[in-house]
Structure 1
Amino acid sequence: MSTRKAAVIDMGTNTFHLLLVELNGVGFRTIYKEKIPVKLGQGGISQNQLAEDAQKRAFHTLKHFKNLIDGEGIDQVFAFATSAVRNAENGPAFVQKVKEDIGIEIHVISGEEEAQLIYEGINLSGSLNGHVNLMMDIGGGSVEFIIGTSTEVFWKRSFEIGGQRLLDAFHYHDPILPEEVEKLESYCGEKLQPLLEAIEKYKPTSLVGASGTFDTLTDIYYESMLQCKLTGQHVFELPTSEFQRIFTLLKSKNREERLKIPGMIAMRVDMIVVASCLIEFILRYVPVNSMICSHYSLKEGAVSRLLTGKVTA
């Protein structure tokens, strides 16, 4: 069976991901992967700008990624940017400069495209069962929700209320104050009205969280159980009671104390509190005994597209 190599660059608002894969027509093998907390949205996202420092970090990271891609002799590169670039007034200029200076062509994807790719990534992981699932991916700039099964999407939407935006708007004190949590939840209730209507209509009975925050929450859970995640495992379960325990812990600690929680990583420590507030809000409308956590998300959705030939990088 013939194989070919490809690279996926996911330029998130908080984290940049590089995934180098070998495609064999029916599946893929990961050659190399790396994630770097570029924080592209920091210092500008609330003003719809890419701050100068953030752009410098992005350029440095993309040059590093390009060196790795060239080192593997890969010429099929699918690079895409999400909320931070999508909404930034200086986003087009940034995309053009990356193309000219580094030779990487960036696709700025819409919120709807992002939600679809997340669905395809989750589906590739094997997370979806026979139930109607509510899927969510909490990014730094936007949050995507999808309602569907392994064979069909009933509803999907992207909301510009990601972790960096919630952090800027509500998390002024550390530990976070109860009134800040209340304001955040009230805001979510307003912004997510279309989602709540969709939940009422389609009645999902399963909650699937994708990557990012959910990876870290399951890491914290596994550490507390003195267990290790198995290599090659892409789907994890997080009991709701354990999420509530971890959430209470996160709310009670400042940044330095959160960093000491076994399983916590530095790139997630700032946004995990507001992201967990959002999860807790959603659990009120989709009450489940446990959440499914998919390690696959947006970038694996892009790999799925490359496998099926729906995109050519």
Structure 2
Amino acid sequence: MSATGAEGFAGRAAAARLPRLDASAPFDRGAKGVYAALDLGTNNCRLLVAKPTRDPTPGGAESFRIIDAFSRIVRLGEGLGQNGLLSEAAIARTIDALLVCRDKMAARDVSRARLIATEACRAAENGEEFVVRVREETGLELEIIGRETEARLAATGCAALADSRAKSVLLFDIGGGSSEIVWLSPKHGARNEQLDAQVRHWTSLHLGVVTLAERFGGAEVSFHQFTAMTELVVSELQQFLARSAKEERCNRFHLLGTSGTVTTLAGVHLNLARYDRRRVDGLWMSHAEIDAVMMKLRAMTFAERARNACIGPDRADLVLAGCAILEGIRRCFPSERVRIADRGLREGMLLELMRADKSFA
């Protein structure tokens, strides 16, 4: 399917190839039931290890219990926009992180896993060579996924936070090298309504926090630079805006954001001394609150951003590029509220794996 519609989007989860750590051994849900999902992006390497659970009430929600997790900023896509290649330094950092993930999965006796790589590997001339090297040096089999799959996984992972009473919701995932935008219509009356939504339209922008920061600057961002980044995002969204223009909205329409950008905004808004996922995931922020925290971030120096507990030195040069992407989305799709999701691709992978194995039956 092209990025012009939703045909063929639904129903692919069960049919998709879902790698096993040991492909020769049949999956034994009763014996182990330990799943892993790894998301290797342009900026981050993230792992979740979990076991399936279900709300015991009739028709209760499908869920899972996280038993291990890992996240490290690796900047795999650093410099990619200049030469089209993954650098040796970035590859070395990433393989170090993947070795940690491999050891965690082995320690947790993972039975079933999906390990994906996104925009950096899609765009790099040596992306496939990198995957081969990862296999040889770590034993892990990475799967370079397409933008459609990335958008679907984000929708699956985040749909639980969409307002089920809204006629439509705009989901966005601001990544390091690309940003996925999905128009959702919550499925009313579905067995697991909070986890299901119909994808009406989707697109993938070739813009992310790393690519924008490298192009426009990230450490010190002037008013002109921020405006230029925002206007570029608005321009890139015009085709998607036209496709979704006839979709029905209501007074419960809202934005649903997943990414380091929105979770950082939430943490700064809450004045957290230390980032706390429990307080951020599911947080509602008003239009005015988003405005206020973005103005606060734009007024900070690079050193001030680096010292902030919810940003840190590794993200201090990227957060304003993320704010510009968010500002472009808000201009095209005005909403009085945004829901913050500290969840996304990994959660989507875990749910798809568990559903494919009928782990919730």
Q: What is the TM-score normalised by the length of structure 2?
A: 0.79
Aligned runs of 1:126-275 on 2, under 5 Å?
126-131=161-166, 132-151=168-187, 152-171=198-217, 174-202=219-247, 204=249, 205-223=253-271, 231=278, 234-261=281-308, 263-275=310-322
For 2:262, give the aligned amino acid. Answer: F
In 2, are the aligned partners of 1:175 and 1:252 still within 8 Å (CA)? no
SS in 2 for 1:202: coil
Aligned runs of 1:1-313 on 2, under 5 Å?
2=30, 4-24=33-53, 26-123=62-159, 125-131=160-166, 132-151=168-187, 152-171=198-217, 174-202=219-247, 204=249, 205-223=253-271, 231=278, 234-261=281-308, 263-309=310-356
174-183 or 256-265: which moved more? 256-265
Identity of aligned residues (%): 25
SS in 2 for 1:263: coil
Q: Which structure is larger by alpha-carbon Rg, 1 or 2?
A: 2
CA deviations on 1:107-151 (whole Å, 9 max, x unpaired) are 10001110000000011x333422201110000010000001223
1:227/1:109 CA distance change after superposition, 3 Å: closer
1:168/1:248 CA distance change after superposition, 3 Å: same
For 2:341, give the aligned amino acid. Answer: S
Q: Mind listing any 5+ residue stretches in structure 1 that lack a counterpart? A: none
Q: C-alpha displacement at 1:32, in angstroms? A: 0.9
254-263 or 35-44: which moved more? 254-263
Q: Mind listing any 5+ residue stretches in structure 2 that lack a counterpart? A: 1-28, 55-61, 188-197
The separation in 1 between residues aligned to 2:268 and 2:279, in whole angstroms, is 18
Quick check: which one's helix share is greater? 1
Q: C-alpha displacement at 1:257, in angstroms? A: 1.2
Runs of 4 or more above 6 Å deviation: none
SS in 2 for 1:267: coil
Q: C-alpha displacement at 1:303, in angstroms? A: 0.8
SS in 1 for 2:155: helix
The separation in 2 between residues aligned to 1:120 and 1:292, in whole angstroms, is 16
SS in 2 for 1:27: strand
CA deviations on 1:22-58 (whole Å, 9 max, x unpaired) are 1247431100111100110112244321111000001
The separation in 1 between residues aligned to 2:122 and 2:256, in whole angstroms, is 25
1:281/1:141 CA distance change after superposition, 3 Å: same
The separation in 2 between residues aligned to 1:183 and 1:311, in whole angstroms, is 48
1:232/1:278 CA distance change after superposition, 3 Å: closer
In 2, are the aligned partners of 1:50 and 1:91 still within 8 Å (CA)? yes
The separation in 2 between residues aligned to 1:55 and 1:228, in whole angstroms, is 28
SS in 2 for 1:217: helix
CA deviations on 1:85-126 (whole Å, 9 max, x unpaired) are 011110000101111221111110001110000000011x33
For 1:184, give the aligned amino acid. Answer: M
The separation in 1 between residues aligned to 2:275 and 2:104, in whole angstroms, is 29
The separation in 2 between residues aligned to 1:228 and 1:42, in whole angstroms, is 25
In 2, are the aligned partners of 1:216 and 1:268 still within 8 Å (CA)? no
Corresponding pairs, count: 309
273-282 or 105-114: which moved more? 273-282
In 1, are the aligned partners of 2:274 and 2:309 still within 8 Å (CA)? no
Q: C-alpha displacement at 1:230, in angstroms? A: 7.3
Q: C-alpha displacement at 1:265, in angstroms? A: 3.4
The separation in 1 between residues aligned to 2:86 and 2:275, in whole angstroms, is 38
The separation in 2 between residues aligned to 1:302 and 1:311, in whole angstroms, is 14
In 2, are the aligned partners of 1:128 and 1:149 still within 8 Å (CA)? no
Q: C-alpha displacement at 1:282, in angstroms? A: 1.6
SS in 2 for 1:20: strand
- After superposition, the CA RMSD in angstroms is 2.4
Q: C-alpha displacement at 1:228, in angstroms? A: 8.6
CA deviations on 1:151-209 (whole Å, 9 max, x unpaired) are 3110011111011111111126x431111122212322332222221342325531110
1:48/1:147 CA distance change after superposition, 3 Å: same
